[in-house]
A and B are shown apart, each in its own frame.
Chain A
């Protein structure tokens, strides 16, 4: 069974602060994908990043960065110099990969972290 835990239910910061959202996962699959999605107040789900389990390089995209550590089963997300528009619910998710490399086509989500950025 797979499990994704986002222990931070809610985070509140003031604009321009850096904020890190934690994600810890459990899986028996030897290879898998990890994802982050953003859900703004409008309700849609916005894809942010996908990471393969065999690629532990950290990634930076503008103000966003991701720290993947297989040894601790964590895939944390940092927003640098937060802005009010970053206020949203953020979800971490996991998808296993079958032997042969194809995906299962389904995701296991964490509970989500509500981020509020105050002006």
Chain B
């Protein structure tokens, strides 16, 4: 099992560019989510999904889009990058039901100039 994988590991964008952060899991987990980590603020939820075709907004969704067409993949799209989106992004997955330990990917460090 590869667990939760994220690509790329590092990315530099210019303001206004768009890109997609990829996230995949091979554990057949129902739940997937995206968090961003900023200094002194912990991890904040951007979007999450409780199954293929079902997504919902988290605490900081503005500027980001998601879709979940398969159980395995949960890409995060930045529509028009802004310097405020400079952050480390973590994808996580967990089984549904009552057992909800979340498994995290290694993170993507994004810098927007």
Chain A contact residues, CB within 8 Å of chain B: 4, 6, 9, 33, 35, 37, 43-45, 47, 50, 91, 93, 95, 97, 101-112
CB distance from A1 to the nearest CB of B (A): 9
Cα distance A21–B43 when bound, in Å?
Answer: 18
Chain A residues with CB under 8 Å of B103's CB are: 47
Cα distance A110–B35 when bound, in Å?
Answer: 13
Interface size class of B (residues with CB under 8 A): 20 to 34
Given known contacts A43-B88, A102-B97, A103-B96, is B50 in contact with A91 (CB within 8 Å)?
Answer: no
B94 touches A111 (CB 8 A): no
Cα distance A106–B107 when bound, in Å?
Answer: 17
Chain B residues with CB under 8 Å of A110's CB are: 42
Cα distance A35–B100 when bound, in Å?
Answer: 10
CB distance from B27 to the nearest CB of A (A): 14
In the complex, number of A-B residue pairs with CB atoms less than 8 Å apart: 69
Which residue of A43, A103, A104 has the most chain B CB atoms within 10 A of its CB atom?
A: A103
Chain A residues with CB under 8 Å of B98's CB are: 97, 101-103
B30 touches A91 (CB 8 A): no
Report B53-66 CB contacts with A as 1/0, cut-off 8 Å.
00000100000000
A44 touches B104 (CB 8 A): yes
Cα distance A4–B49 when bound, in Å?
Answer: 22
Cα distance A91–B102 when bound, in Å?
Answer: 13
Q: List B19-58 residues whose CB lies under 8 Å from chain A.
A: 30-33, 35, 40-45, 48-50, 58
Given known contacts A43-B106, A44-B107, is B94 in contact with A105 (CB within 8 Å)?
Answer: yes
In the complex, the 3 A-B pairs of residues with the closest C-beta atoms, listed nearest first? A105-B31, A103-B100, A109-B42
Which residue of A104, A105, A112 has the most chain B CB atoms within 10 A of its CB atom?
A: A105
A44 touches B94 (CB 8 A): no
CB distance from A42 to the nearest CB of B (A): 9
A106's nearest neighbour on chain B, judged by CB, is B48
